Amino acid sequence: MPELPEVETVRATLEQAVRGETIAKVSLFYPKLIEGDSEDFLSKLVGKQILSVDRKGKMLCFVLSDGLRLYSHLRMEGRYFLGNPGEKDRKFDLCEFDFASGKALYYNDTRKFGRMMLQKEDEPSPFEELGPEPFEMNEEELLKRLSKRKDTIKQALMDQTLISGIGNIYADETLFACKISPFAPASSIDLNQCKAILSNSRRILSLAIEEGGSTVRSYHPQEGVNGRMQNELLVYGKPNFPCPNCGFPLRKKFLGGRGTTYCPICQKQEGRAFVLGITGPIHAGKSTAAKYFMGKGYLLFDADACVKELYLRKDVKRLIQKALGRKTFVGGEPNRGFIAQLVADKKKKKVLESILHPLVIEEAEKFIRQVGKNQKVLIDVPLLFQSGMDALCDAIILIDADLELRRNRIIQEGRDASSLMNLNRAYPLALARKKASWTIYNNGVLSDFVSKLSELPL
């Protein structure tokens, strides 16, 4: 999605290309592109001259003769192409402007989220709905705006009515430069931090404008225009890369549906414990690793004990009985044999998990808050990713070992290897490798394993 520097790059290119052009004909291939009356849009534009191209935040405005303004919001994928009239050959060209000079401008949008709006100069402009850009605001104003918010600082910075021009890329970069956790409550940000946010966002946005914006997987501004800012990004798009400051693996989490990359050490959230997750396939050595970290002072969140306690709660009992039948509880106690039978069915297992997992996450979150700052919490659950508990972790270790080795370890303990290995077949190893901060192989002797764990910066 284009942010201020990308839209500024588009604006500057457009202004050079179309300033002074007179619109001779407009062809609309996707009427929903226009907010308001599309017939009116088409007829009013003909004969108008483009005087200049303006921008505020992430929104463009073609300033036209006769006091008309054409606002264009590129949203996710909107872009402009120059060409000749009647040459529409791209699949997602949504609108064509033919000029009296014989040139044409095409608006292209693969996601079709972009919008255009025609207004008179004396009508309220959509620019007025946008907050000031970082260049136009001081720290007192930002502090005042943040103090009323109920969300996190990252979500607040991305709200275009609060401050305009900052999206996902530059919010991550700015907060990293300020050493502020993206998950910190917006209302907790103090005046000095506001000052840092403004000075860093101005510096980063200015550099990005100079570099022609970022050409990233999610956005490419224009044919033949390649931004270079992606080479300057320090955290965006770099999960699990070492932090440029401290070397700790950068972590990517989702916040309000948007990927958020941060350094768990440099951007530690004030008052919150550090959370380490351990995951891995069966008998790879998770419990050995958990014991090692508990020996180093990590406090274990016991997910199994948590589930046992959940079954004793009346509200949980009601939810489970409603979803899976009254027989799931007998005399107030969970009917474990019956529940075990039920979850052999994949769909029913999912239903049960959809009740339990969010509650376990809620309890884990409470535990993390209660232990307080300067503490370290360990989460050791096999279904770390499937349960969504990875979202609580600042770092994740995947413990892996060769399949044969794991099988032998089970056999040596005198247990049935085949059924345990079957249980484990569903373990999402590829996903875990991709998402974990580190993968530790436990293929050697115990002392080797422990020495590998001791080398981690934990």
Catalytic residues: 2-3, 58, 258
Closest CA to 289 of 404, 370, 396, 383: 396
Task: Specify the 3-state DSSP secondary structure of 442.
Answer: coil
DSSP per residue over 183-229, as a string?
TSBGGG--HHHHHHHHHHHHHHHHHHHHTT---BTTB--BTTB---G
The CB-of-274 to Zn ion minimum distance in angstroms stands at: 13
The CB-of-329 to Zn ion minimum distance in angstroms stands at: 48
β-partners of residue 324 are none
The CB-of-193 to Zn ion minimum distance in angstroms stands at: 17
Based on CB atoms, which residue is closest to Zn ion, 60 or 436? 436
> Residues with Cβ < 8 Å from 193, sequence gap 6 or more?
178, 180
246 neighbors 265 (Cβ within 8 angstroms): yes
**Residue at 122: amino acid letter:** D
The CB-of-263 to Zn ion minimum distance in angstroms stands at: 3
DSSP state of 51: E
> In degrees, to the nearest 5, what angle opens at C-alpha 310 toward C-alphas 308 and 311?
70
| CA distances (Å), origin 446, targets 39, 441, 452 | 75, 11, 10
Based on CB atoms, which residue is closest to Zn ion, 36 or 247? 247
CA–CA distance, 219 with 78 (Å, rounded to integer): 9
Closest CA to 184 of 162, 163, 158, 154: 154
Based on CB atoms, which residue is closest to Zn ion, 62 or 248? 248
The CB-of-364 to Zn ion minimum distance in angstroms stands at: 24
Instruction: Give the nearest residue (CB) to Zn ion.
Output: 243
> Residues with Cβ < 8 Å from 383, sequence gap 6 or more?
389
DSSP per residue over 314-374, as a string?
HHHHHHHHHHH-GGGEETTEE-HHHHHHHTTSHHHHHHHHHHHHHHHHHHHHHHHHHH-TT
The CB-of-344 to Zn ion minimum distance in angstroms stands at: 45
392 neighbors 361 (Cβ within 8 angstroms): yes
Based on CB atoms, which residue is closest to Zn ion, 94 or 266? 266
How many secondary structure helices (H) and strands (E) does the chain include? 15, 17
Based on CB atoms, which residue is closest to Zn ion, 246 or 312? 246
Based on CB atoms, which residue is closest to Zn ion, 244 or 444? 244
Based on CB atoms, which residue is closest to Zn ion, 246 or 403? 246
CA 140, chain centre distance (Å): 28
Neighbours of 112 (CB within 10 A): 15
β-partners of residue 400 are 441
The CB-of-174 to Zn ion minimum distance in angstroms stands at: 15
Based on CB atoms, which residue is closest to Zn ion, 50 or 266? 266
Tokens of 41: 């849009």
The CB-of-173 to Zn ion minimum distance in angstroms stands at: 14
Tokens of 83: 């060409």
The CB-of-178 to Zn ion minimum distance in angstroms stands at: 13
Tokens of 279: 């995951």
Based on CB atoms, which residue is closest to Zn ion, 149 or 238? 238
Site of interaction with Zn ion (CB under 5 A):
243, 245-246, 248, 263, 265-266
